[in-house]
Amino acid sequence: GQNIDQPTEMTATEGAIVQINCTYQTSGFNGLFWYQQHAGEAPTFLSYNVLDGLEEKGRFSSFLSRSKGYSYLLLKELQMKDSASYLCAVNPSWGKLQFGAGTQVVVTP
Amino acid sequence: NAGVTQTPKFRILKIGQSMTLQCTQDMNHNYMYWYRQDPGMGLKLIYYSVGAGITDKGEVPNGYNVSRSTTEDFPLRLELAAPSQTSVYFCASSYQESSYEQYFGPGTRLTVT
């Protein structure tokens, strides 16, 4: 079956670094997405990985290891506005994204 | 560009009632999707469409119907509302599938009592 696992909640201090892990077992793989979702709002795109390695975008980086079925999202220099849910989503085929339950990141002063 | 718009924002239905959730995008995207998100859960795909006249089932299609008569519009129909359909519904679109990010609408919060 399809399974995407990520921690339920993480807490970190403003200015710190947080790493959100995502492990997946899916019947196919055409890439992995990370989305950010603030409470009561729609998800917004953060990153996409299809090849192994690290993709860096400003304060956010995403890593993928296809052989291990593993990805992480790294948030650096945390700001209060980064408090949100972070969704890992795998594309097993034809755009049918499979989402994890999301990791709630709480940034404290 | 307005992006992806959804109406209504909120709705309360009685069990057995029907309604249509509207979704429109102005980005000329071929692919459109309907998701539902239950509290503390990730999004689950209900239906998707790869172009006008073409729709297919996602992970949780039971109790829903869709149509795609134009590129811009992708309405979701609930025929006999049940309490299990209480959820937040998101419509999304993308230029193509696979590597292209999906753009989400603001969501419709539906309660069935």
Does B9 contact chain A (CB < 8 Å)?
no
Mean pLDDT of A26-46: 93
Best of B5, B98, B103 to mutate (most A CBs within 10 Å, chain A): B98
pLDDT at res. B72: 97
* B73 vs A28 pLDDT, higher one: B73
Q: pLDDT category, B1, cuts 50, 70, 90?
A: confident
Q: Read off the amino acid at residue B84.
A: S
pLDDT in tens, B36-89: 999 888 899 999 999 999 999 999 999 999 999 999 999 999 999 999 999 999
Partner-chain contact B98 A95, CB within 8 Å = yes
Q: What is the pLDDT of residue B40?
A: 82
Q: Is B74 on the interface with A (CB under 8 A)?
A: no
Mean pLDDT, rounded, for A84-106: 90
Asked whether the predicted pLDDT for residue A1 surpasses 80, the reply is: no
Instruction: Tell me the percentage of chain B whose pLDDT exceeds 70.
Output: 97
User: Cα-flanking dihedrals φ and ψ of residue A25, to 5°?
Assistant: -135, 110
Highest mean pLDDT among A79-88, B32-41, B99-108: A79-88
Q: Between the CA of residue A98 and those of A19, A86, B61, B106, B113, what are the distances in Å?
A: 21, 14, 15, 20, 29
Determine how many CB atoms are found less than 10 A away from the CB of residue B39: 7
Closest B-chain CA to A8: B40
Rounded-to-integer distance, Cα B113 and Cα B63, Å: 16
Q: B72 by DSSP, 3-state: which?
A: coil
- Which three-class secondary structure state does DSSP give residue B11? strand
Residue A55: Cβ within 10 Å count: 15
Q: Is B2 on the interface with A (CB under 8 A)?
A: no
Mean pLDDT for all residues in chain B: 94
- Residue B31 near chain A (CB below 8 Å): yes
The Cα B2–Cα A106 span in angstroms is 30
Cβ neighbors of A107 (< 8 A, separation 6 or more) are A11, A12, A13, A14, A78, A79, A80, A82, A83
What single letter denotes the amino acid at residue B102?
Q
Q: Tokens representing A46?
A: 């953060």
| Closest alpha carbon to A32 in A57, A4, A8 | A4
| Cα(B101)–Cα(B31) distance, integer angstroms | 11
Chain A closest CA to B107's CA: distance in Å? 7
- Has residue A84 got a pLDDT over 70? yes
Kindly state whether A64 is in contact with chain B, defined as any CB-CB distance less than 8 angstroms. Answer: no
d(CA A89, CA A87): 6
Confidence at A44, pLDDT banded by 50, 70, 90: very high
| Per-residue model confidence (pLDDT) at position A43 | 95
> Residue B33 corresponds to which tokens in the numbers above?
């999707």
Percent of chain A with pLDDT over 70: 96
Task: Measure the CA–CA gap between A57 and A49, rounded to whole angstroms.
Answer: 12
B38 part of contact set with chain A, CB < 8 Å:
no
The pLDDT score that the predictor gives to residue B96 is 76
How many alpha carbons fall within 13 Å on the CB side of residue A99? 26
pLDDT above 90 (res A79): yes
Q: Do A42 and B104 touch (CB under 8 A)?
A: yes
